[in-house]
Amino acid sequence: MIHSTRRFNSILLMLLPLTSVLRINTEVKMYTSIHYLTRPKIQTLLILLLFLCSGSIAAQTTGEDQLEGFWTGAFVRDGAVQIVSAEIRREGDKLRVEMEMPDRPFAAPTISTIERDANGHLRFDTIYGPASVALDTVFLEMVGDVAENTPSLRLHLKRSLRPPMPIIRTEEITFRNGDITISGTLVIPEGEGPHPVALQVHGRGCQGRGAYLRRARVLARYGIAGLAFDKRGVGASKGRCESATIDDETGDLLAAIEFLASRQEIDRTQIGAFSSSAGGWIVPRAAARSKTPLAFIVTIVGPATSVREQQLDNARYISRDLKLSAEDQKPLMRYIELMFAEGDPDAQFAEMRQLIAQGEKTGWAKEFLDTTDVALSASEIKNLWVRRFNYDPRADLKRIRVPFLAFYGGSDRVVPPDENV
């Protein structure tokens, strides 16, 4: 507790610029009758008063000193606005800006270095292209244009107080699937538990927890815990990602569910899964086999067809986009057939190489093939991704009786909505 109001007033006046002391003199006197202010309240009051006097402070500083900190504003196009926030910090002899859009919380921030052009304007990257803005050092505003946009796009930023954020706790954890140790981060929201939790599930490829941890942090602001982990063989997790099968990844997810069910902070009746892309195959497979029932499922462009059908659907859309003739489509369809077919590996490998050569000429090889769709030898055909993850989710999807939210993109050619919704 603070009992010396005289000491408090002296400290407050010393922190403010002279031009501001005269303005707030009467306000400061108001506090001479307050004898019991807690330290956190005093700290908050000081911060707010200092920010209100920032116009006077700005007159005493120039240049890059005024840029560091938190900014809020909007992109403006034809009268419509999209809210944006920016954090500017110094890294060595450079200033870096990290921009985010609150209405797109799962999108990765845009990070770039701030430069000055010949006109003295500040230049940095945004999600819509490079911006060129003028800095107003009196009102602490940045106003300018974002290049190469029709209709024109304006950007307006103003120095602001960072809004209060809920307290989020993170914990580095491990869990095991057989002899494989998986590493991840558990994100726990503010407040007493137990909390509902959204388990972040990877898509195709060997990925770490990075982008999925960002999702978990966003959901934690709204009281939902999260677990994001490195795929086996990636980051701090053991095992081999390159040879993992759908059984392996389903087992890893099942182990993660049981780990969460064992935690006191987690409501074991409210464990859900949030997946992307090929994770939409893993989740229903795990849901049908889990000892602890899932309470909800969210998928982003998760396939509802088999792996084989998804490949064929994607090939048909690519063929249409490339305007391939019926004859030019045949090598592509044959390649898909060979990816799944059993047979003589040497003969299959030789034919696949010939088909890829044809696809390079007509364009489908570049558009359709992932690196894990191409065998480098006859012995590697069995390790193609589609063989390791061959699966039809229909039977498992029919068993699901919990809330299920599925997002699809209207123009998606990899997981086309008409074939999956």
Statement: residue 355 has pLDDT above 60 = yes
Closest CA to 223 of 176, 190, 186: 190
Asked if 277 and 352 sit in the same domain, the reply is no
260 DSSP assignment: H
Q: Which of 159, 193, 221 is the endpoint of a domain?
A: 159
- Residue 300 pLDDT greater than 70, yes or no: yes
Domain boundary among 159, 177, 208: 159
Q: Considering the domain boundaries, does residue 164 fall inside one? A: no
Phi-psi region of 14 (alpha: psi -120 to 50; beta: other; left: phi over 0): alpha
The per-residue pLDDT for range 18-45, each reduced to its tens digit, is: 333 333 333 333 433 434 445 555 555 5
- pTM equals 0.76
Q: Residue 255: what pLDDT? A: 98
- Average pLDDT, stretch 92-118? 90
CA distance 140 to 117: 19
Same domain, 329 and 350: yes
DSSP-based three-state secondary structure for 15: helix
Residues 128, 30 share a domain = no
Model pLDDT, residue 373: 97
- 261 and 398 in a common domain: yes
Using the Cα atoms of residue 380, residue 384, residue 389 and residue 393 in order, give the sign of their dihedral: negative
Spatial strand order of the sheet with 296-300 comes to: 169-177, 180-188, 225-229, 195-201, 266-276, 296-300, 404-407
CATH of the domain at 129: 2.40.128.20
185 with 245, same domain: the answer is yes
Q: Note whether 290 and 414 are same-domain residues.
A: yes
Measure CA of the first residue to CA of the last residue in the chain; give whole Å: 61
What is the rounded radius of gyration, in angstroms, for the C-alpha atoms of the chain? 28
C-alpha 218 chain-centroid distance: 9
Pairing of β 80-91 and β 69-77: antiparallel
- pLDDT bin (cut points 50, 70, 90) of residue 52 is low
Where does a domain end: 102, 127, 159?
159
What pLDDT was estimated at residue 147?
A: 87
pLDDT in tens, 38-49: 555 555 555 555
Least confident of 49-63, 184-198, 306-320, 348-362: 49-63
Within this chain, do residues 93 and 196 fall inside the same structural domain, yes or no? no
Residue 384 falls within a domain, yes or no?
A: yes
Q: Give tens-digit pLDDT for 148-207.
A: 778 899 999 999 998 888 889 999 999 999 999 999 999 999 988 899 999 999 999 999
223 and 250 in a single domain? The answer is yes
For 374, which DSSP code?
S
Nearest to 149 by CA among 174, 172, 130: 130
Q: Could you tell me which residues come within 8 angstroms of residue 36 by beta carbon, excluding any fewer than 6 positions away?
A: 1, 2, 3
Q: For position 105, what pLDDT does the model report? A: 80
Are 70 and 52 found together in one domain?
A: no
Is 346 inside a domain boundary? yes
Residue of 86, 171, 188, 166 lying closest to 133 (CA atoms): 86
Give the H or E element holding residue 261: helix 246-261
Give DSSP secondary structure letters for 69-105.
EEEEEEEEETTEEEEEEEEEEEETTEEEEEEE-TTST
CATH of the domain at 208: 3.40.50.1820
pLDDT at position 284 is: 98
Averaged pLDDT, 58-77: 78
Query: How many structural domains is the chain composed of?
Result: 4
pLDDT over threshold 80, residue 217? yes
Measure the CA–CA gap between 234 and 71, rounded to whole angstroms: 36
Band (pLDDT 50/70/90 cuts) for residue 2 is: very low
Domain-embedded: residue 319: yes
Q: For residues 209 and 136, state if they share a domain.
A: no
**Domain limits at 46?**
5-59
Domain for residue 281, yes or no? yes
